[in-house]
Amino acid sequence: MHLTAAVTHEAPWYVARCLEVEVTSQGTTVEEALESLREALELYFEGTSHPDGMEPVLIASVEIAA
């Protein structure tokens, strides 16, 4: 299953969020945050079949006046 993660730096942590489902994790590095998210997602989907009808995420930039 391929899922999309967004990672932000919220000192002192890196926070990884899955964009398809509401699962979030953190770590002291980007790699640690993504590994922690992977583990959390495996637990989230444990015992379930592949979700039907999951739409791909559209990633877009949004500009606002500063």
9-34 per-position pLDDT tens digit? 999 999 999 999 999 999 999 999 99
Nearest to 29 by CA among 52, 49, 9: 9
CB 33 within 8 A of CB 7: yes
Q: What is the pLDDT of residue 47?
A: 87
Whether the pLDDT of residue 57 is over 90: the answer is no
Residue 14 to residue 36: CA distance in whole angstroms: 11
Q: Which domains does the chain have, with CATH numbers?
A: 1-66 (3.30.160.250)
What predicted TM-score, i.e. pTM, was given to this entire model?
A: 0.83
Nearest to 57 by CA among 25, 18, 30, 31: 18
